[in-house]
């Protein structure tokens, strides 16, 4: 049974953890980043000519393939971000893994949109740091 006090959630069974300001920040950024990745994926799947074509990159891939990758990662990141608001532990673990994969996908996205990719890599790094932060324990009242 969860108890609510001063913005935190706890459970006797241990399935929920404290929801701190960093976790809320990470959840909001994950939802935002996930939705943006979904839009990137849809745009790449719908029309390849929306994106700038470049040559001679080692990790060059069909843009439709990139679109599917971003779409799937975006959905996973968005769902994990929503689950973080409930304070469930698995959402942190899935969030760290999904955001780490999103970081790698955005690194490979650099040849097409460098500014946007670098921005999302920085956001992903901050989200991972926020998810790895140890939640503060509040004294029981």
Per-residue pLDDT tens digits for 56-96: 655 556 777 878 888 999 999 999 999 998 888 889 999 99
Task: Confirm whether 56 is domain-assigned.
Answer: no
Domain count, the chain: 1
For residues 101 and 118, what is the distance between their CA atoms, to the nearest angstrom?
Answer: 14
Give backbone dihedrals phi and psi of 16, rounded to 5 degrees, phi first: -125, 150
> 3: pLDDT confidence band, cut at 50, 70 and 90?
very low
Task: Confirm whether 94 is domain-assigned.
Answer: yes
Q: Which structural domain, as residue segments, surrounds residue 25?
A: 21-50+62-132
Task: Confirm whether 4 is domain-assigned.
Answer: no
pLDDT tops 70 at residue 51 = no
Task: Confirm whether 28 is domain-assigned.
Answer: yes
């Amino acid at each position: 049974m969860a108890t609510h006090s001063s913005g935190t959630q706890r459970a006797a069974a241990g399935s929920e953890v404290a929801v701190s300001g960093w976790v809320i920040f990470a959840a909001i950024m994950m939802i935002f980043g996930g939705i943006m990745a979904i839009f990137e994926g849809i745009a790449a799947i719908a029309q390849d000519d929306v994106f700038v074509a470049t040559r001679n990159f080692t990790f060059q891939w069909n843009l439709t393939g990139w679109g599917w990758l971003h779409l799937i990662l975006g959905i996973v990141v968005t769902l994990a971000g929503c689950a973080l608001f409930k304070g469930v532990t698995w959402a942190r673990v899935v969030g760290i893994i999904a955001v780490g994969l999103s970081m790698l996908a955005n690194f490979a996205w650099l040849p097409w949109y460098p500014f946007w990719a670098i921005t999302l890599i920085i956001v992903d790094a901050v989200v991972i740091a926020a998810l790895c932060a140890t939640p503060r324990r509040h004294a029981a009242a």
